A and B are shown apart, each in its own frame.
Chain A
Amino acid sequence: MLKFISPGKEKDQNETISERIKRIAFGRRESGLFLLLAGICMIMIILEPDTFFTSENMFNILRQVSVVAIIAIGQTFVMVSGGIDLSIGYNLGLCGIVIAKFLGAGFHPISSILVGIIVSALVGFCNGLVITKLRLPPFIATLGMANIARGIIYVLTKGYSISIGDPFILYLGSGNVGIIPAMAILMMILVSIGIYQLDQTAFGTRVKAIGGNELATKLSGISVSKNKIAVYTMAGVLAAIGGIITIGRQYAANPGAGANFEMDSIAATIVGGTSLAGGQGTVLGTLLGSLLLTVIKNALILLSVNMYWQTVAVGAIIIIVCTIDVFTRKNK
């Protein structure tokens, strides 16, 4: 019987216990991130025993990480394919506004949600089309699309928020399943699908191949254009889901709700180990990257760190984590 051993996982019969622990702990990027996250949590449990490790704060963190993690799944696929999506934040905001407008016009909530998802998917599809057919760099194409989405948001709202009263949307954004926030459960389902899709399916392999060597992938007969369009459309759909949760969480569709999400998703994806050059990355890493950044922001507030220093701290941590990753990869 053939036994498949992943590269880098081969066991050395002569390795010592300490080497083995080191291999398990640091052999994968995700393990290192998990240890870092666990370390920060341990420090916080010691420093803030009454406030950090409480169920309420854990659910706060889950609520705060959910939307970023969901849209970062899309960003991971895009970045693994060698691209970047700067429109993801405003696409999220646009979906929320479209849904609110349709709800306000008396449409059924499900129809409104579907229209919102279709609009965001269309934005993603257009990104893919412009990148593959007009051959614009992803940075430029998605930056342009971000501005278009932002402009449409302001045209539709004049800057005003629109109240959301639909119970289903409010449940998705603010309700619980038992004691666990519904949005966190949705996030875990989507993360699981994302992990499976990127690591276990032919589509995931094609996405990695395109990001690794686009020309070679094309020469091997794979349609690069179709797969790239699919990836950007998928990122659009995930932005839409993030948008639905956001309007449910904020009880309103806020025109500024999508701002900064593109940078948050890119930061989470890079911290999670996805290469900016494409070809490498995991959805699990992205989830851990999102969690790490959210836990740090949460911890800094619980520790009453001055607001001016928090931005410095988050920036420094992104650089430190990525620097450690660069050195670890070099040493390998």
Chain B
Amino acid sequence: MKKSVYRIIALLLMLMLIFVGCGGPSATETEGEEGQSQEVAEQRTFAIVYPIVHPFFEPVTEEAQKYADSIGVELLTYAPDKPDARQQVEILENLIAMKVDGIAVVPTDSETIAPIVNKAIDAGIQVIAFESDIPKSNRAGFQGTDNYKAGLALGEEIAKRLDGKGKLIVATGLPTQLSLNQRLDGMKKALEAYPEVEILDIQSGQGDPTITMNVIESMIQAYPDFDVFSGIDATGGPMAVAVWKAKGWTKDDKMIITFDNVPENVQGVKDGIITSLISQKQWLWGEQLIKDMMTLCDGGSVPNYVDTGNVVIDINNVDTYMDE
């Protein structure tokens, strides 16, 4: 009797947790008025597929949702819970089965995603890429930052802040991520023009906060005479801020010049810890993605490639950079 009670309690707990767990954003449907959803169900349904759940993409979702609501389109947003191409392929397969009208996707791995993107296009779905391109697919268009140019901008910013002379340590994210490698290539290219700016070391934090923090601490130990730390992915900046805080440093002690306007980085600029940020203009993407998918569904065409550019953020424009 006691055993049965235990088993029933355990089963109930499991079911409860499974229901809670199923609410995760690995397959998150964005909110909408119930009545409106039913109304637009026979109209158009678009999906945005991200490579991972990350605050970087939240402005994209917000802007896209706002515009989709205004024109009565149903919008679904999905993201794997880790940067896993297999999971992203499964999401795209499900979207093909759901017969959505359009998909905007940031590929986790361009090569792996290309065949399933082509399969979606063959099934009559309009597909566009953003943030990272899928060159081997038949996607209708791409919008995003030219990461190589963003890397060039980072290199120029570092050289400018160092007055053309100084030492640099760098932390990047996943070594397989094309956009990060393009940024690194751009940064190195820009710094070739400044022979007195020396890259002391480049290490990978694998996109993991704890590993990134350990890597930054160890590099600081190995090269105590560095002048600038630079983060190539969105994890480097926030972890560098934590290290600087623990050491009691500000931007006057050692500089952080890093990528992406995630909230911790923006706050770091305001707090006088981060010298400057290079940011993509992802807040411009959301509305344009919906507009592009609408145009394609109406039989129109969209530009093959749109570079939305990047912006340098420092203490002077940290509150106004989105308006520039």
Q: Which residues of A contact B (CB under 8 A)?
A: 48, 51, 54, 56-57, 60, 63-64, 67, 126, 129-130, 133-134, 145, 147-148, 150-152, 154-155, 158-161, 163, 174, 246, 249-252, 254-257, 259-261, 297-298, 301-302, 304, 307-308, 310
- Which chain B residue has the least Cβ–Cβ distance from A256? B209
Number of chain B residues whose Cβ lies closer than 8 Å to a Cβ of chain A: 57
CB distance from B212 to the nearest CB of A (A): 10
In Å, the complex CA distance between A254 and B209 comes to 8
Whether the pair B13, A257 counts as a contact (CB closer than 8 A) is no
CB < 8 Å neighbour of B25 from A159, A260, A310: A159
SS class, residues of chain A in contact with chain B: helix
Which chain B residues border A147 with CB–CB below 8 Å? Answer: 21, 81
Whether the pair A250, B209 counts as a contact (CB closer than 8 A) is yes
Whether the pair A133, B6 counts as a contact (CB closer than 8 A) is yes
- A to B CB contacts below 8 Å, 20 in the list: A60-B221, A63-B217, A129-B6, A134-B7, A134-B10, A150-B81, A151-B25, A154-B81, A155-B25, A158-B58, A160-B55, A160-B58, A161-B238, A250-B209, A250-B210, A250-B242, A252-B242, A256-B209, A301-B215, A301-B219
- Which chain A residue has the least Cβ–Cβ distance from B239? A250
Whether B196 sits at the interface, judged by CB under 8 Å, is: no
Q: A133-B6, A256-B208, A261-B210 are in contact. Are A152 and B20 (CB under 8 A)?
A: yes
Q: Which residues of B contact A (CB under 8 A)?
A: 3, 6-7, 9-11, 13-14, 17-18, 20-26, 52-55, 57-58, 81-82, 172, 175, 201-204, 206-211, 213-215, 217-219, 221-222, 224, 235, 238-239, 241-242, 245-246, 262-264, 267
CB distance from B25 to the nearest CB of A (A): 5
CB < 8 Å neighbour of B55 from A129, A150, A159: A159
Whether the pair A259, B208 counts as a contact (CB closer than 8 A) is yes
CB < 8 Å neighbour of A260 from B26, B208, B262, B264: B208
Which chain A residues border B204 with CB–CB below 8 Å? Answer: 307-308, 310
Whether the pair A151, B6 counts as a contact (CB closer than 8 A) is no
Whether the pair B10, A133 counts as a contact (CB closer than 8 A) is yes
Whether the pair B21, A57 counts as a contact (CB closer than 8 A) is no
Q: A133-B6, A250-B209 are in contact. Are A51 and B53 (CB under 8 A)?
A: no
Q: A151-B81, A302-B221, A302-B222 are in contact. Are A163 and B25 (CB under 8 A)?
A: no
- Which chain A residue has the least Cβ–Cβ distance from B57? A159
In Å, the complex CA distance between A147 and B264 comes to 26
CB distance from B301 to the nearest CB of A (A): 33
In Å, the complex CA distance between A133 and B204 comes to 43
* Most A C-beta atoms less than 10 A away, residue of B24, B55, B213, B218: B218
Which chain B residues border A252 with CB–CB below 8 Å? Answer: 238, 242, 264
In Å, the complex CA distance between A255 and B54 comes to 9
CB < 8 Å neighbour of A154 from B7, B26, B219, B263: B26
Whether the pair A159, B26 counts as a contact (CB closer than 8 A) is no
Which chain A residues border B81 with CB–CB below 8 Å? Answer: 147, 150-151, 154
Which chain B residues border A126 with CB–CB below 8 Å? Answer: 10, 13-14, 17
Which chain B residues border A163 with CB–CB below 8 Å? Answer: 264, 267
CB < 8 Å neighbour of B14 from A57, A130, A150, A301: A130
- Which chain A residue has the least Cβ–Cβ distance from B218? A301
CB distance from B294 to the nearest CB of A (A): 26
> Apart from A48-B222, A148-B21, A307-B175, what are 7 other A-B pairs with CB-CB below 8 Å?
A147-B21, A151-B25, A161-B55, A249-B246, A250-B239, A297-B214, A298-B214
CB < 8 Å neighbour of A60 from B23, B26, B201, B217: B217
Whether the pair A158, B20 counts as a contact (CB closer than 8 A) is no
Q: A57-B221, A307-B203 are in contact. Are A154 and B213 (CB under 8 A)?
A: no
Q: A161-B263, A163-B264 are in contact. Are A134 and B14 (CB under 8 A)?
A: yes
Whether the pair A255, B24 counts as a contact (CB closer than 8 A) is no
Whether the pair A304, B217 counts as a contact (CB closer than 8 A) is no
Nearest 4 pairs of A and B residues by beta carbon: A151-B24, A148-B21, A301-B218, A159-B53
Which chain A residues border B175 with CB–CB below 8 Å? Answer: 307-308
Whether the pair A301, B203 counts as a contact (CB closer than 8 A) is yes
